[in-house]
Amino acid sequence: MVSAVTAAGVAFIVLVHTAIAAFGARYFRVTLSTRWGSLVYTFVLLPLVYVPTTLVFGALGLGAGAFSDPGQLIVVTWAFPFFLGWSIDLFWMPSPEELEELPDQPNGQ
C-alpha cells in the first residue's frame, strides 16, 4: 500500500510535469509560426525536459516505491501530465492569433 507521503510526492511530480507541458506547449504555439513546428517541438522537446526533472525528483525520493511496474511510472508521471498540460493550452488558453490582435495601449490611451 502506498503511503500518503508517497502519493503526495507523485501528485507533486504530476503537477510540475503538467505545468512544464502547459507552459512549453504555449511557448511553442506562440513563438513558432507553423502549426506543425509547434507540434513537433512540443512532442520532442518537452519529454526531454521530463528526464532531468524525473531524475531530480527521484534523487529527492519523491514518489519512491509508488509503482511496481515501469510502465505505470511512465504513464502516470510522463504521459498523463503531458497530455493534460497540452490540453490545458489547447482548450483553455486563447489561440496565438487572438494574442496578436491586442491593442498597443491599455484602456484605449
pLDDT in tens, 30-82: 888 888 888 899 899 998 999 999 889 888 888 878 888 888 888 999 999 99
Structurally, the chain folds into a number of domains equal to: 1
Q: Is residue 80 part of a domain?
A: yes
Q: Is residue 84 part of a domain?
A: yes
Question: In this predicted structure, what is the pLDDT of residue 36?
Answer: 87
Q: Which domain holds residue 51?
A: 4-96
Question: 37, 42, 49, 106: which is closest to 77 by C-alpha?
Answer: 49
User: What pTM does this model have?
Assistant: 0.82
Q: Is residue 109 part of a domain?
A: no
What confidence category does residue 103 fall into, taking pLDDT thresholds of 50, 70 and 90?
A: low
Q: Is residue 106 part of a domain?
A: no
- Cell numbers given for 71: 510502465
For residue 104, pLDDT beyond 70: no
pLDDT in tens, 4-32: 888 899 999 999 999 999 999 999 888 88
HSE (CB half, 13 Å, CA atoms) of 16? Answer: 16
User: Measured at the alpha carbon of residue 17, what is the angle toward residues 13 and 18, in degrees to the nearest 5?
Assistant: 115
